[in-house]
């Protein structure tokens, strides 16, 4: 039984070290939860922060509160594990199992004293004085009483360990698991109450994503259209006399020319006739073949458009 008690003591110490490391991890996790909640709170800002409002910071306030509450649950779990498991293990090792070692020491000492007193008493001779014999007999009686007390103390300590090991660890571990059950249950109930709000925020975020993608696509399309327009104007300006294959040449005039045309038209209203645009273009003929003819055109400030077979010939 004593060997079993010593083996149990070593195993309990190793288990205690693991439990201690676990509770330290819970404490660090609690610190991490609070740090994360504080960081989220700082990042989210408030209703008076325009940047925060732009990315939904005020919406995160409820999440911050929930994270702090979950962190509180975790701290309660840590304290319960500390109380129900760590402290009980330490008490079992430092008191119950340690008492077995101390009882063994007292028993060995009392046994030695009892053996010595018995040897002295048994070594008395017939001629020994009565007072000496009475003193040795009293010492033997006291030594035996101490020995019996030490023996019963050792038996009690061993019996206590044998009895406690049947329920002590089961109570400690099952109580710890029950604390975990309540911890996760509290966290689930809290988040379950927030589930509609969480889904609402997720839906809003998804809709915002879709709107953003649509707006981004529209912006890209406008930019591409602008680039195509600039490219058309650039090609028309560089080709000059080649004109536009659409037959009228007017659509090729870019936006940058509109202001100039408007200014020339205003001057025409004052009696001045000016040439707005001139150059070559391809004009589809009215014959049966409908082939393309290269013509020189002149657009003046009166809105008149003239076509020439050649640059200085009679207008057509």
Q: Which residue has the tokens 């060995």?
A: 108
Calculate the average pLDDT of the chain: 81
In the chain, pLDDT over 70 holds for what percent of residues? 76
pLDDT (average), residues 29-58: 85
Q: Is the pLDDT of residue 133 over 80?
A: no
pLDDT (average), residues 97-102: 88
Reported as a pLDDT band with limits 50, 70 and 90, residue 308 is: low
Q: Please tell us whether the domain made up of 2-212 is placed in CATH 3.40.1390.30.
A: no
Choice between 80 and 208, residue whose per-residue pLDDT is larger: 80
In the chain, pLDDT over 90 holds for what percent of residues? 36
Q: Is the pLDDT of residue 254 over 50?
A: no
pLDDT (average), residues 288-295: 66
Q: Is the pLDDT of residue 10 over 60?
A: yes
Would you list the domain boundaries of the chain? Answer: 2-212, 243-308
pLDDT (average), residues 72-85: 96
Q: Each residue of 208-247: pLDDT tens digit?
A: 899 999 999 988 898 898 888 888 877 776 665 444 444 4
- Write phi, then psi, for 298 (nearest 5 degrees): -135, 130
**CA–CA distance, 19 with 88 (Å, rounded to integer):** 11
pLDDT value of residue 245: 43
pLDDT (average), residues 36-65: 83
Q: Each residue of 167-221: pLDDT tens digit?
A: 999 999 999 999 999 999 999 999 999 999 999 989 988 998 999 999 999 888 9
pLDDT (average), residues 266-289: 62
Q: Is the pLDDT of residue 129 over 80?
A: no
């Amino acid at each position: 039984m004593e060997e079993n008690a010593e083996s149990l003591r070593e195993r309990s110490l190793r288990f205690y070290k693991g439990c201690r490391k676990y509770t330290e991890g819970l404490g660090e996790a609690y610190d991490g939860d609070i740090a994360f909640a504080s960081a989220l709170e700082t990042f989210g800002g408030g209703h008076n922060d325009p940047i925060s409002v732009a990315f939904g910071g005020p919406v995160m306030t409820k999440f911050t509160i929930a994270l702090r509450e979950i962190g509180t649950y975790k701290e309660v779990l840590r304290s319960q594990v500390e109380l129900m498991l760590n402290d009980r293990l330490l008490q079992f090792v430092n008191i119950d199992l340690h008492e077995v070692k101390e009882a063994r020491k007292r028993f060995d000492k009392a046994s030695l004293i009892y053996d010595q007193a018995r040897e002295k008493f048994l070594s008395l001779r017939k001629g020994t004085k009565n007072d000496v014999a009475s003193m040795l007999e009293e010492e033997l009686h006291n030594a035996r009483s101490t020995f019996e007390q030490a023996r019963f103390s050792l038996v009690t300590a061993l019996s206590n360990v044998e009895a406690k090991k049947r329920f002590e660890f089961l109570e400690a571990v099952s109580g710890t698991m029950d604390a975990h059950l309540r911890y996760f249950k509290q966290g689930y109930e809290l988040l379950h109450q927030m589930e509609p709000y969480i889904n609402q925020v997720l839906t809003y975020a998804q809709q915002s994503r879709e709107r953003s993608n649509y707006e981004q696509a529209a912006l890209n399309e406008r930019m591409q259209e602008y680039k195509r327009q600039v490219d058309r104007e650039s090609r028309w300006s560089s080709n000059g006399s080649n004109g536009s294959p659409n037959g009228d040449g007017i659509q090729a005039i870019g936006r940058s020319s509109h202001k100039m045309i408007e200014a020339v038209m205003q001057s025409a209203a004052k009696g001045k006739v000016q040439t707005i645009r001139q150059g070559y273009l391809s004009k589809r003929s009215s014959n049966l073949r409908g082939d393309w003819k290269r013509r020189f055109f002149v657009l003046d400030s009166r809105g008149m458009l003239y076509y020439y077979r050649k640059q200085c010939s009679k207008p057509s």
